[in-house]
Amino acid sequence: MQGNDDEESRAVDLRQRTEDDSDWIVELLTKEWGSTKIVTRGNTWTADELPAVVAITGDERTGLATYRIDGDSCEMISLNSLMENIGIGTALVNEVKRRAKVAGCKRLWLITTNDNLKAIRFYQRRGFVLVAVHRNALDESRRLKPSIPLVGLDGIPMRDEIEMELIL
């Protein structure tokens, strides 16, 4: 295990993505996000080509975080835990945070959507703050990625990008 310091994350090992992970990463992103393309703030990111942390539990891959570093900011592009509530999501966030700090970043930020109340809760519990609501940003995102649904989690219309950040 590396890069995390809390008790909850002890069940998970974290490692840099390898060539062998590529097919799994494409499959996971496609299943969880409809495509390997992820749109944030009007930009389309090819998430399967980004730096990534893979979580391993036992012999299985159980989580993925992709991110990009731009100057002194790090944007988390995707975060998925395939085995929830045992510390995998927290461990992945901690590892991206550690990597961002090593790279000299001052800010770790991300976009989630207004329907993802669980994520908004999860990130706030881990020190992130809401810095902006980009109203109706999903209209533009859908032009770039038409597969983004109109209705999201809990039947909530997917409309806005919620920007969250953690100062490092």
Ligand X SMILES: CC(C)(COP(=O)(O)OP(=O)(O)OC[C@H]1O[C@@H](n2cnc3c(N)ncnc32)[C@H](O)[C@@H]1OP(=O)(O)O)[C@@H](O)C(=O)NCCC(=O)NCCS
Residues that bind ligand X (CB under 6 A): 8, 79-81, 84-90, 112, 116, 118-119, 122, 125
CB of 128 to ligand X, least distance (A): 11
CB of 75 to ligand X, least distance (A): 11
- C-alpha span between 114 and 116 (Å, rounded): 6
Closest by CA to 137, choosing from 39, 10, 32, 2, is 39
Q: Which residue's entry shows tokens 């209209």?
A: 139
Task: Give the sign of the dihedral formed by CA 159, CA 144, CA 77, CA 29.
Answer: positive
- Return the number of the residue (75 or 105) whose C-beta is nearest ligand X: 75
In terms of C-beta density within 10 A (0-12 exposed, 13-18 middle, 19 or more buried), how is residue 87 classed? buried
- Return the number of the residue (99 or 123) whose C-beta is nearest ligand X: 123
- Return the number of the residue (19 or 155) whose C-beta is nearest ligand X: 155
CB of 118 to ligand X, least distance (A): 6
- Return the number of the residue (19 or 85) whose C-beta is nearest ligand X: 85
